[in-house]
Amino acid sequence: MPPPNNPTINNKVANRGRSAIAICGATATGKSGLAIKLAKRLGSVILSADSRQVYREFDIGTAKPTLAQQQEIPHYLIDISSPTETLTVADYQAQAQALLKGEKEEANIKFPHPPILLVGGTGLYLKSIVRGLKIPRVAPNLELRSQLSSLGQIQLYNFLQQVDPSAAQKIHPHDEVRTLRALEVFYVTGQPISQQQGENPPDYPIFQIGLDCKSDILTGRIAQRTEEMLEMGLVAEVETLCQKYGWDLPLLDTLGYREIKQYLAGEVSLVEAKESIVLHTRQFAKRQRTWFRAVPEIEWFDADSYDLLERVWEFVSERLNCFEEY
Q: What is the pLDDT of residues 48-73, one digit of tens each?
A: 999 999 999 999 999 999 999 999 99
Query: Residue 322: its pLDDT value, please?
Result: 66
Instruction: Report the SS3 class of residue 22.
Output: strand
CATH code 1.10.287.890 for 215-286: yes
pLDDT grade for 138, boundaries at 50, 70 and 90: confident
Provide the CB-side half-sphere exposure for 236 (13 A, CA). 5
Least reliable range by pLDDT among 123-137, 228-242, 311-325: 311-325
Torsion (CA) 284, 288, 289, 295 in degrees, nearest 10: 170
CB-based burial label for 21 (10 Å; 0-12, 13-18, 19+) = buried
Architecture of the CATH domain 7-134+199-214+289-322: 3-Layer(aba) Sandwich (3.40)
Instruction: Report the SS3 class of residue 206.
Output: strand
1, pLDDT greater than 70: no
Same CATH topology for 7-134+199-214+289-322 and 215-286: the answer is no
Tens of pLDDT, residue by residue over 184-227, are 989 888 888 888 878 888 888 899 999 999 999 999 999 999 99
C-beta separation of 288 from 121 below 8 A: yes
121, pLDDT greater than 90: yes
DSSP β-bridge partners for residue 81: 55
* pTM for the whole structure: 0.83
6, pLDDT greater than 50: no
Query: Residue 197: its pLDDT value, please?
Result: 79
Provide the CB-side half-sphere exposure for 285 (13 A, CA). 24
279, pLDDT greater than 60: yes
Angle between helices 215-232 and 270-293 (to 10 degrees): 130
Query: Residue 5: its pLDDT value, please?
Result: 44
Q: If one looks up domain 142-195 in CATH, what number appears?
A: 1.10.20.140
What is the overall mean pLDDT for the chain? 88
Domain boundaries along the sequence of the chain: 7-134+199-214+289-322, 142-195, 215-286
Query: Residue 103: its pLDDT value, please?
Result: 56
C-beta separation of 226 from 280 below 8 A: no
Cβ count near 14 (within 10 Å): 12
C-beta separation of 239 from 56 below 8 A: no
User: Which residue would you say has higher pLDDT here, 189 or 281?
Assistant: 281
Q: Which residues, in sequence order, are CB contacts of 172 under 8 Å at separation 6+?
A: 178
Query: Residue 104: its pLDDT value, please?
Result: 54
Task: Give φ, ψ of 137 to 5 degrees.
Answer: -85, 70
The span from the CA of 278 to the CA of 262, in Å, is: 15
Query: Residue 15: its pLDDT value, please?
Result: 35
From its phi and psi, is residue 266 left (phi > 0), alpha (psi between -120 and 50) or beta?
left
CA-wise closest residue to 144 among 97, 188, 195: 188
DSSP codes joined into one string, 61-111: TTTPPPHHHHHHS-EESSS-B-TTS---HHHHHHHHHHHHTT-SHHHHHH-
CB-based burial label for 303 (10 Å; 0-12, 13-18, 19+) = buried
The 20-25 sheet, strands edge to edge: 75-76, 46-48, 116-119, 20-25, 206-212, 298-302
Output 220-224 pairs: Cβ under 8 A, ≥24 positions apart: 221/28, 221/29, 221/30, 222/27, 222/28, 222/278, 222/281, 222/282, 222/285, 223/278
Tens of pLDDT, residue by residue over 282-324, are 999 999 999 999 999 999 999 999 999 999 999 998 888 765 5
User: Which residue would you say has higher pLDDT here, 176 or 272?
Assistant: 272
